[in-house]
Amino acid sequence: MTATIAPVVKAPKRAGDRIFSGAALAGGLVILLALAAVAVFLVAESLPAFGAKATDIPGTAGQFPTFWAYVAPLAFGTVWAAVLALVFAIPFSIAIALFISHYAPRRIARGLGAIIDLLAAIPSVVYGAWGIFVFGPFVRPFWEFLAETFPWFPLFSGPVDPNARSILTVALVLAVMVIPIITALSREIFLQTPRLNEEAALALGATRWEMIRMTVLPFGRAGIVSASMLGLGRALGETLAVAMVLSPNVIISFFLLRSQNPTTVAANIALQFPEAFGTSVNVLMATGLVLFVITFAVNAASRAVIGRRAAGKGI
Amino acid sequence: MATTTAIPAGIRAGQLPRNAPVGLLILSLVVTGALFLVFLLAGMTAAYNVTGAIFFGLVLWVVVTYVTSFLVEGSRRAKDRLVTTLVCTAFGIALLPLISLIVTVLTRGLARFDVAYFSESMRNVTGPGGGAIHAVVGTLEITLAAAVISVPVGLLSAIYLVEYGRGPIARGITFLVDVMTGIPSIVAGLFAFALFALITGNAGYRAGFGGSVALSLLMIPIVVRSSEEMLKLVPMELREASYALGVPKWLTVLKVVLPTALAGIVTGVMLAIARVVGETAPLLLVAGFTDSMNYNLFDQRMMSLPVYVYTQLTQPGTDVQDFFDRAWAGALTLILIVLILNVIARVVARFFAPKIASR
């Protein structure tokens, strides 16, 4: 038994094998190179911005003394709009995902999922146009109602923007764009709930909602968190819908309905870039770098949550 | 006869009838509909408030269902019904923007969806007339170039990850593909601009090819992810059968694995193209905008359909309506392109998929 171990037979290395595996590896390395290039070029083009003078800041009358004073309101607006969007999007997405995975008749559930996915396929510029011409006029009476009824509530204090191009409108448009992403991921997670757990709950006499609360939601919690993070990443980077619908200012403001709204990094770049020149371009590049860092952090956090769940600690 | 009627009555005692939710929904909508009709006749609202009637009808439905169920069935079942009504309402509300979008784009876009629109550019057009042929050509060229860059890179990386990749390089590539998925489209545009501005030394660089590079940065991760999934679905037995016949690995991948996964890969590529064809922000930065036809991908500004919609809306001339009509026609074209790509993708997936026994 122990004396005769057959020598390991190695297949001869053929030229075709070497070339093919080399090509496949090269494809992978191109991705490595591309990302390294993104980082290097963005940083290289951003460096001049950190010494920018007040007159180099694009689209302002020189009221921002340094680059950091300029980027702080932009970063605030980006996060604020995205968080508001998620406040609306997350409950809806969970409800829709539950509807498709556990409430709708199984025969039509796939079709309903495809319809929701259709929302993700619509280009953002079309959302922007729809936001200006249809959604804005539609929500304006509601915003005026809010401002008149709850004037004591600081977030709703007026005057309401006459075209409803305020951050609350933008957040709702963003929510519509983010819902299909969160829904698609949550749906997949909900469908993976162990069948036996669900049936055990039902056999113990639980109603459908109690079954969902006891088995589906605890199982899917980590999935919901990471799906929401991915949605947050999308909302942070969304450009055109914000640029078209919002009436922008570079300020920090929590008012939801007014005409002076904090704009986002991406929308600001889209609006200022076509006319920018000289150091202004570098300043915009640097704000883009800040956006990249924010989205990277959010995506890394979401991946950490998924990873924990894969390791079996998240449940 | 007596038993067949007695048993259902016994089982369903203390419960609402099976069609109670639907009945209550119709009842609530009729009540609020009538209420808003009274408001209209009393002169309190100028026009019939359809949105209000439906909205308050749904609210009434949720409340009435909960209360009836609470009285008849008890608190646990009432809560169950409350969640059911809420979940159904949420799905219905989510459909409203989609319906509204499609109706808006169809009604406003059809006004200029004609032959002239697809045969003329905007050169020297300041009022009515004109078209988007330059934008359609630009979108086709930029997207095709992006696909030509991303498909080989994405497919080769997927093959590497599934067939060869072990150890730190494969882990690194997987991680970076994840990072790439999260790159905001405007950052991709900034990168392409920075790259070409540094290479050409032209601080005002604008060309279609820059847009292609930016789009391929967004497209590669989608292609890698979908191709990877499809290659992983190919059964190991097929590869082993091929190896057992003495076929080298590269021929196995090329002649056995890839043909088996081809339908899925094509579907993934189609969906990736559909995803980037509507990207506006990077093209706005790198490809710029123009009113004239430009067939050359590597020189001068190049219009694309999403940027066309954007500029027609945001920079209208004196007669605003002409510009808006063209913009909506552009939006309709764009949605049609995306839909057709999606349909092709699903047809390919349905009819050309190999018959694999279910896992």
**What is the pTM for the complete model shown?**
0.88
| Region of A72 on the Ramachandran plot (φ > 0 left; ψ -120 to 50 alpha; else beta) | alpha
The distance from CA B343 to its chain's CA centroid, rounded to whole angstroms, is 12
E strand or H helix at A261, and its extent?
Answer: strand A261-262
pLDDT tens sequence for chain B (359 residues): 444 444 555 666 677 887 888 888 888 889 888 888 888 888 776 777 777 788 888 888 888 889 988 888 888 888 998 999 999 889 988 888 889 999 999 999 998 888 888 888 888 888 788 888 999 999 999 999 999 999 999 999 999 999 888 888 888 888 888 888 888 999 999 999 988 888 888 877 888 999 999 999 999 999 999 999 999 989 999 999 999 999 999 999 999 999 999 988 999 999 899 989 989 999 999 988 888 888 888 888 899 999 999 999 988 878 888 899 999 999 999 999 999 998 898 888 888 766 654 44
Return the CATH number at A107.
Answer: 1.10.3720.10
Point out the residue among A31, A91, A209 whose CB comes nearest to the CB of B220. Answer: A31
Tell me the CB-side half-sphere exposure of residue A24, using CA atoms within 13 A: 22
- Long-range contacts of the stretch B93-98 (C-beta < 8 A, 24+): B93/A92, B94/A92, B94/A96, B94/A116, B94/A119, B94/A179, B95/A115, B97/A119, B97/A130, B97/A135, B97/A176, B98/A115, B98/A118, B98/A119
Whether chain A has a CB inside 8 Å of the CB on B277: the answer is yes
A56, part of any domain = no
Count residue pairs from A and B with Cβ separation < 8 A. Answer: 259
Nearest by CB to residue A125, choosing from B170, B275, B278, is B278
In a domain, A155, yes or no: yes
Among A273, A275, A297, residue whose Cα is nearest residue A286:
A273
Q: Is the ipTM of this complex over 0.90?
A: no
Does residue A41 lie within any of the structural domains? no
Domain count, chain A: 1
Nearest chain A residue to B162 by CA distance is A24
Q: Enter the CATH code of domain B133-352.
A: 1.10.3720.10
Domain of residue A303: give its range.
68-310
Q: Is residue A48 part of a domain?
A: no
Q: CB–CB of B253/B156 below 8 Å?
A: no
In this complex, the residue of B160, B178, B179 whose CB is nearest that of residue A27 is B160
Q: Per residue in B252-290, pLDDT tens?
A: 999 999 999 998 899 999 989 998 998 999 999 998 888
Task: Test A129 with B331 for CB contact under 8 angstroms.
Answer: yes
CA B29 to chain centre: 32
- Using CB atoms, pick whichever of B154, B178, B191 lies closest to residue A38: B191
Looking at the DSSP assignment, which residues form a beta bridge with residue A248? A261
B173–chain A Cβ distance below 8 A for any pair: yes
Closest residue of chain A to B99, computed from CA coordinates = A119
Q: Do the beta carbons of residue A42 and residue B168 sit within 8 Å?
A: no
Report the C-alpha gap between B201 and A284 in whole angstroms: 18
Cβ count near B17 (within 10 Å): 9
Helix axes B75-109, B20-41, angle to 10 degrees: 60
For residue B342, which residues of chain A lie inside 8 Å, CB to CB?
118, 121
DSSP structure class, residue B45? S
Q: CA–CA separation, A208 vs A103, rounded Å? A: 9
Angle at B220 between CA B215 and CA B224, to 5 degrees: 160
Quick one: tokens of B194?
């920075």
* CATH 1.10.3720.10 placement within chain B: 133-352
